[in-house]
Amino acid sequence: MKKKKILGLMLAGTLLFSACGKNAGGPHVSTTKVESTSLTEKNESLDENIDVTLETSNENGAEDTKEAISGHEAEITVETTAETTAETATETTTETTAETTTEILSETSVENTSEITVETTEESTVDSTIASTAETTKETTKENTKETTKAAKDDKEEVTEKTTEGEAGDNYSSKSTIKWNADWKYASFSKINSDSVTLYKTASSSAKNKTIAINAGHGTKGGTSVKTQCHPDGSAKVSGGSTAKGATMATAVSSGTSFLDGTSEAYANLQLAIILKDLLLENGYDVLMIRESSDSQLDNIARTVFANNNADCHIAIHYDSTETDKGFFFIGAIDVSSYKNMEPVKSHWKEHDALGKALVSGEKAAGVKIYGGGYMGLDLTQISYSTIPSVDIEVGDRASDYSKATQSKIADGILLGLDEYFGK
Ligand SMILES: [Zn+2]
């Protein structure tokens, strides 16, 4: 049972550019597992996107914008069915059971109390265990795994990290799981944040000490039936999208578009994210992977807040919903004064534009086709909550080739753009 609604929108173009951002760290997750999961689950997400049939009357730029918006923050509202609920329940149960076996208990080395920290990927179990105070249990896992427990002053703020060292042949020296921290700025606006993200530190001898957050767009089961506040100050959206202009609450994570062969955008976004992760690590960048499987329970606000607090810039990967193989462009803050005067947009939109401009320049150098001026202005959740240079890139559309070879070329362009942006 699905419902499609096409909403109004707005188009605006403007170019303006300028400068930079911040960082942090955390522990775990198997990349191999992730990749195979994303492959085998390729078809799972298809039904979510299958009826993303958008009106294509591509006669002018306005239509393109409309489609861009619909592809991006989906016009599609998927009503939750009994089936979906059942499926989710089953998965939760399975996962919880599995996670239990990998629980790692460690004793904190904080002065005041002996607290127990349980490291799992499921917040639900974690919270209850942490709350039910201290027993001093300690277990050691694999030799190359070390636990680091960082306890902040405040109990609530406790962030546990598990770090795994990279082995010979890995392009990372360590990978760490970073858990959600409810005390981060804007964290309270997120509704879906039970998953963690992974920070990979480069194994390159010429580390650049810059962390790039790679956010493979979409891929959150149930994300379309949850609403989050469009802007931190509660003001209304100034351009259309999955939520119409004027609304104050938006779709938490839309389902995205699908390619002409039926493959979901979320799948191709993740495939490119993994290619980009490896390329950046090999070239000295650290990488914060926001999503590494077909389902990450992180809404757009959570993804943005994770990036804000753990990376120097944030790149969200998307494919547009047009069918013209239109080329690469980035989305920056729409040129509406009330939007550009709202924090944190006011303090950061120039950085977003500068990053986007550098990426377009890199793509040109890599020989990737650019759409128009390479820029589109919109009011996106990502932009509305970003406090570091942050862009949504539309690397192609549903008629584009999303093969690994083509995506590698796009990744090359992003690397060139980042080098230009960070002056490396
Ligand atoms: Zn998208």
Q: What is the pLDDT of residue 118?
A: 34
Highest mean pLDDT pick, 91-105, 133-147, 375-389: 375-389
> How many whole angstroms from 320 Cα to the centroid of ligand 1?
6
Burial of 5 (0-12, 13-18, 19+ CB in 10 A): exposed
Distances (CA, A) of 87 to 76, 144, 297, 378, 423: 20, 36, 15, 35, 48
**Per-residue pLDDT, 84:** 38
Cβ pair 270, 294 in contact under 8 A: yes
Residues 355 and 91: beta-carbon distance below 8 Å? no
Measure 197 CA to ligand 1 centroid, in angstroms: 19
Q: Tell whether the model's pLDDT for residue 98 goes beyond 60.
A: no
| pLDDT number for residue 159 | 58
Q: How many CA atoms lie within 13 A of 269 on its CB side?
A: 35
- What distance in angstroms lies between residue 39's CA and the mean position of ligand 1's atoms? 18
In a domain, 129, yes or no: no
| 3-class secondary-structure state, position 39 | helix
Q: How confident is the model at residue 9 (pLDDT cuts 50, 70, 90)?
A: very low
Please give the residue range of the domain that contains residue 44: 2-100+161-422
Identify the pLDDT of residue 57: 35
Is position 145 within any domain? no
pLDDT attached to residue 169: 86
Using CA atoms in the order 129, 132, 133, 137, what is the torsion angle rounded to 10 degrees?
-40
The answer to the question of residue 118 being in a domain is no
**Cα–ligand 1 centroid distance for 115 (angstroms):** 42
Whether pLDDT at 58 is above 60: no
Question: Closest Cα to residue 108, out of 98, 99, 97, 119?
Answer: 119
Q: Tell me whether residue 250 is in a domain.
A: yes
pLDDT above 50: residue 372: yes
Q: Look at residue 402 in the predicted model and tell me its pLDDT.
A: 98
Q: What is the mean pLDDT of residues 128-148?
A: 36
CA 318 to ligand 1 centroid distance, Å: 4
Asked if the peptide bond before residue 344 counts as cis, ω within 30 degrees of 0, the response is: yes
pLDDT of residue 241: 74
Q: Is residue 126 part of a domain?
A: no
* Terminal C-alpha separation, the chain: 50
- Structural domain total, the chain: 1
Among candidate residues 413, 302, 398, 300, the one with its CA nearest the CA of residue 356? 413
Residue 240 banded pLDDT, cuts 50, 70, 90: confident
What spacing in Å lies between the alpha carbon of 223 and ligand 1's midpoint? 13
**CATH classification of the domain holding 258:** 3.40.630.40
Higher pLDDT among residues 226 and 163, named by residue: 226
How many helices and strands (H and E) does the chain possess?
11, 16
- Centre of ligand 1 to C-alpha 127, Å, is 32
| Percent of the chain residues past pLDDT 70, beyond the cut | 62
**Residue found by looking up tokens 């990290």 in the block:** 161
Structure confidence at residue 234 (pLDDT) = 97
Q: Is residue 172 assigned to a domain?
A: yes
Query: Tokens 């810039």 label which residue?
Result: 313
Position 130 in a domain: no
Q: Is the pLDDT of residue 32 over 70?
A: no
